[in-house]
């Protein structure tokens, strides 16, 4: 079957470069099931055309006047998918992306035909108003196999369960890499399974051991010299390929990228002239990247800033970076295929010990080998450093991904979801809560009555701490409970913040420390060298603490945020605390939300300090002292430029809007163009505020 046989307009074909594609058998099968009104779970290898199935289904829903939701696990993937779907705007589809601000009302959904969001965002919308399920006729759940992921899967499982619980007519299209127990997933969703091992680009798997690359099929390749990984890189680069090399830590990614930048044969990576596009503040990674990138080598990990990661990814897509050494965060993130994928490390340090990574993760990484439209064959290679790891490597290549199991039975998630169910009116008793969970993957895979004690404990906790009230057979949410559920925060976090408000001794340091005690703000690790500074910070600010790792970690994180809101430079912070700019951004994102949550709770418990917490949320987001917050409302004016404007005497929106261009061009970092735009933007912001 070809695309045109589906009676699709020419503009739809434009999304695929105007090609009337021949559908792969699994695409045709999935589309037929969808046309018959069925739920569908598609389990096929990476880069096998899963997105096309979703786009056809979404367009069909649009023609019927119905709305779709496209759920992905990460914000970066949401942005990619949003850009893809926006190409359907010429067909009349209104596309929106919603990934942050968990306090949003679902009302905006009515204005769009397709909403792209993360699973957390989708679940938070359900917390606000379960009736949104009646507005959505199709839910596309991308990367469905991640439903078993400890950190991300539970939110998706909860949302899909809620969708089916509220509106059984809502159809679900699950898109996934290989799922070994797909019968469980399709049985839970009452879906048709579409399974295929087809890949448009053949994947040749092999192991590099003792200077020899041995494939499952085909002749081995031997390399001379001790640095077999560098020689392997040279071999594939000389044939026009690029390589993704996965390692198990940030430091290893930097060290290996440095080693390869020196050891690769001169000229093999095609050195090029490159003008760094950073702008803004400097940090400890910029110089390293500027050294490596022109040599055609780079590294990629979560410590890099979002701008740095974007630059590295773009240069790799353009083919200018030939070897990219990355941590596994890349494998679960953006779509970045390469002709060759090498898994350099098959072990990882976690929870105090070193263990082998999962089959699922190995298959996910190797699945990125082979670029559609560019490669006929992709090469997925595991590096074996010893006889023991060689044996394990062959087990990976011959094995299947681990089965997917529900993760929502954890105590914290039962507590979180139970509050949401009572808050939305979907549950009034323990039997109601259990009735909902019977519709989850947990309920499909286990006897839900075996978890009754956990549900009872969760409801007792919520009742004893003022989130719900009433009897066991007739619970109702309190104002506090409704606020906490809408804010999409753990009730335990709410208790930490409430206890702080009850104390009444408010300061920046104390606020940031209590924010960092909440589960929503993952702590940095305090090392031995940090002990003296951490203790001084805590004692100076009268912070209660236990001599525990968790307390010290939270305090170190608070110190980072305190330096940030007091306008210490990124370079200063990253060097002082041994972290990356990406770590700052990650902590800022979660801490900003908790500061906003504090402002909402303060409106009930300490109303005279609500404005302080609202301002602190802005300061955390921008990294500023309070005196320049107004200036950061001007587009393209971050904390560095805002401080320069303020220091030069332009201390308010009014003063900037009334300034002359030459006044601003005298300030460092302001060109004539930027000065003109700054004045214009300031006037626009003022006009909006005065309406």
pLDDT tens digits, one per residue of 215-240: 998 899 999 877 899 999 999 999 99
List C-alpha distances in Å: 101 to 32, 487, 578, 596, 644: 37, 9, 29, 10, 30
* Span 571-607, pLDDT tens digits: 999 999 999 999 999 999 999 999 999 999 999 999 9
Do the domains 3-195 and 202-398 sit in the same CATH topology, yes or no?
yes
Which has the higher per-residue pLDDT, 494 or 279?
Answer: 494
Check residue 274 and give its pLDDT. 84
**Structure-token pair, residue 124:** 């938070």
* Span 614-650, pLDDT tens digits: 999 999 999 999 999 999 999 999 999 999 999 999 9
Q: How confident is the model at residue 289 (pLDDT cuts 50, 70, 90)?
A: very high
Rounded-to-5 percentages of helix, strand, coil across the chain:
50, 15, 35
Check residue 206 and give its pLDDT. 97
Domain ranges of the chain: 3-195, 202-398, 411-472, 491-602, 631-690
Query: Is the pLDDT assigned to residue 17 strictly greater than 70?
Result: no
Q: Which residues contact 536 (CB under 8 A, 6 or more apart)?
A: none
CB 324 within 8 A of CB 243: yes
Check residue 178 and give its pLDDT. 81
Query: Is the pLDDT assigned to residue 202 strictly greater than 80?
Result: yes
Which has the higher per-residue pLDDT, 200 or 174?
Answer: 174
Q: Which CATH superfamily is domain 3-195 in?
A: P-loop containing nucleotide triphosphate hydrolases (3.40.50.300)
**Structure-token pair, residue 312:** 């590295």
Percent of the chain past pLDDT 70, that is, above it, reads 97
Check residue 484 and give its pLDDT. 96
Check residue 175 and give its pLDDT. 95
Average confidence (pLDDT) over 527-542: 92
Q: How confident is the model at residue 293 (pLDDT cuts 50, 70, 90)?
A: very high
Check residue 209 and give its pLDDT. 95
Question: In the CATH hierarchy, which top-level class contains the domain 202-398?
Answer: alpha beta
Does residue 309 sit in helix, strand or coil? helix
Average confidence (pLDDT) over 335-353: 88
631-690 belongs to CATH 3.90.1170.50? no
Query: Is the pLDDT assigned to residue 126 strictly greater than 90?
Result: no
Query: Is the pLDDT assigned to residue 9 strictly greater than 70?
Result: no
Q: How many CA atoms lie within 13 A of 623 on its CB side?
A: 23
680 membership: H or E segment, kind and range: helix 672-690
Rounded CA-CA distance 454/614 in Å is 36
Q: How confident is the model at residue 19 (pLDDT cuts 50, 70, 90)?
A: low
491-602 belongs to CATH 3.40.190.290? no
Does residue 625 sit in helix, strand or coil? coil
Check residue 280 and give its pLDDT. 74
Taking the alpha carbons at both ends of the chain, their separation in whole angstroms is 56
Check residue 14 and give its pLDDT. 66
List C-alpha distances in Å: 514 to 215, 367, 407, 467, 604: 54, 42, 28, 20, 18
Q: Which of 610, 601, 619, 589 is nearest to 487 (CA)?
A: 601
Rounded CA-CA distance 414/491 in Å is 11
Average confidence (pLDDT) over 517-542: 93
Q: Which residues contact 186 (CB under 8 A, 6 or more apart)?
A: 39, 41, 192, 193
> What integer best gives the mean pLDDT of the chain?
91
Q: How confident is the model at residue 20 (pLDDT cuts 50, 70, 90)?
A: low
Percent of the chain past pLDDT 90, that is, above it, reads 75
Place of tokens 């109303």: 607
Q: How confident is the model at residue 353 (pLDDT cuts 50, 70, 90)?
A: confident
Pairing of strands 95-98, 114-118: parallel
Residue 236: phi and psi, rounded to 5, are: -80, -35
Check residue 549 and give its pLDDT. 82
CB 63 within 8 A of CB 85: no
How many residues are given for the chain?
A: 691
Query: Is the pLDDT assigned to residue 150 strictly greater than 70?
Result: yes
CB 255 within 8 A of CB 244: no
């Amino acid at each position: 079957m070809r695309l045109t046989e589906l009676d699709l307009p020419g503009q739809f074909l434009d999304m695929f470069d105007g090609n009337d594609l021949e559908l792969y058998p699994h695409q045709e099968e999935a589309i037929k099931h969808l046309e018959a009104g069925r739920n569908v779970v598609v389990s096929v290898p990476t880069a096998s055309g899963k997105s096309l199935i979703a786009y056809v289904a979404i367009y069909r829903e649009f023609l019927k006047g119905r709305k779709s939701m496209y759920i992905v696990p990460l914000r970066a993937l949401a942005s990619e998918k949003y850009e893809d779907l926006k190409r359907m705007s010429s067909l009349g589809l209104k596309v929106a992306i919603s990934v942050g601000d968990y306090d949003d009302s679902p009302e905006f959904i009515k204005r769009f035909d397709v909403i792209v969001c993360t699973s957390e965002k989708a679940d938070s919308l359900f917390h606000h108003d379960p009736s949104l399920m009646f507005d959505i006729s199709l839910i596309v759940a991308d990367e469905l196999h991640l439903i078993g992921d400890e950190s991300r899967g539970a939110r998706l499982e909860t949302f899909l369960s809620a969708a089916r619980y509220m509106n059984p007519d809502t159809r679900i299209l699950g898109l996934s890499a290989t799922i070994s127990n797909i019968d469980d997933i399709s049985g839970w969703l009452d879906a048709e399974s579409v399974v295929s091992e087809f890949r448009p680009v053949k994947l040749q798997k092999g192991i590099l051991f003792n200077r020899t690359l041995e494939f499952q099929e085909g002749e081995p390749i031997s390399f001379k010299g001790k640095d077999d990984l560098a020689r392997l890189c040279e071999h594939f680069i000389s044939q026009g390929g690029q390589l993704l090399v996965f390692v198990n830590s940030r430091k290893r990614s930097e060290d290996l990228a440095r080693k390869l930048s020196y050891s690769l044969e001169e000229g093999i990576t095609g050195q090029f002239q490159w003008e760094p596009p950073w702008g803004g503040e400097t940090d400890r990674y910029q110089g390293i990247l500027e050294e490596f990138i022109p040599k055609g080598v780079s590294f990629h990990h979560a410590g890099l800033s979002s701008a740095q990661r974007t630059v590295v990814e773009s240069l790799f897509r353009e083919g200018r970076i030939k070897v990219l050494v990355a941590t596994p965060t890349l494998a679960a993130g953006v779509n970045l295929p390469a002709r060759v994928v090498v898994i350099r490390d098959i072990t990882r340090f976690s929870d105090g010990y070193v263990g082998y990574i999962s089959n699922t993760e190995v298959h996910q990484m190797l699945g990125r080998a082979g670029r559609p439209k560019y490669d006929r064959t992709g090469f997925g290679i595991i590096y074996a450093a010893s006889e023991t790891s060689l044996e394990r490597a062959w087990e990976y290549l011959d094995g299947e991904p681990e089965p997917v199991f529900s993760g929502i039975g954890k105590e914290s998630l039962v507590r979180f979801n139970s509050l949401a169910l009572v808050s939305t009116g979907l549950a009034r008793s323990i039997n109601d809560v259990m009735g909902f969970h019977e519709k989850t993957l947990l309920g499909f895979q286990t006897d839900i009555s075996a978890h009754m004690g956990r549900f009872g404990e969760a409801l007792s906790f919520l009742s004893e701490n003022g989130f719900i009230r009433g009897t066991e057979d007739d619970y109702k949410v309190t104002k506090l409970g409704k606020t906490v559920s809408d804010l999409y925060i753990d009730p335990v976090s709410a208790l930490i913040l409430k206890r702080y408000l009850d104390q009444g001794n408010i300061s920046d340091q104390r606020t940031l420390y209590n924010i960092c005690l909440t589960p929503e703000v993952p702590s940095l690790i305090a090392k031995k060298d940090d002990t003296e500074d951490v203790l001084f910070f805590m004692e100076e600010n009268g912070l209660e603490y236990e001599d525990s790792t968790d307390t010290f970690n939270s305090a170190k994180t608070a110190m980072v945020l305190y330096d940030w809101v007091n306008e210490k430079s990124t370079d200063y912070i990253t060097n002082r605390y041994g972290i990356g700019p990406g770590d700052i951004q990650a902590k800022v994102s979660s801490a900003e939300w908790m500061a906003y949550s504090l402002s909402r709770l303060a409106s009930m418990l300490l109303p005279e300090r609500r404005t302080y917490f609202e301002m602190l949320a802005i300061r955390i987001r921008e990294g500023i002292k309070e005196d320049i917050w107004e200036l950061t409302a001007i587009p393209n004016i971050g904390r560095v430029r805002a401080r320069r404007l303020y220091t030069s005497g332009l201390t308010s929106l009014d003063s900037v809007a009334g300034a002359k261009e030459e006044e601003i061009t005298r300030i460092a970092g302001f060109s004539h163009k930027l000065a003109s735009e700054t004045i214009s933007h300031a006037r626009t912001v003022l006009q909006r505020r005065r309406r």
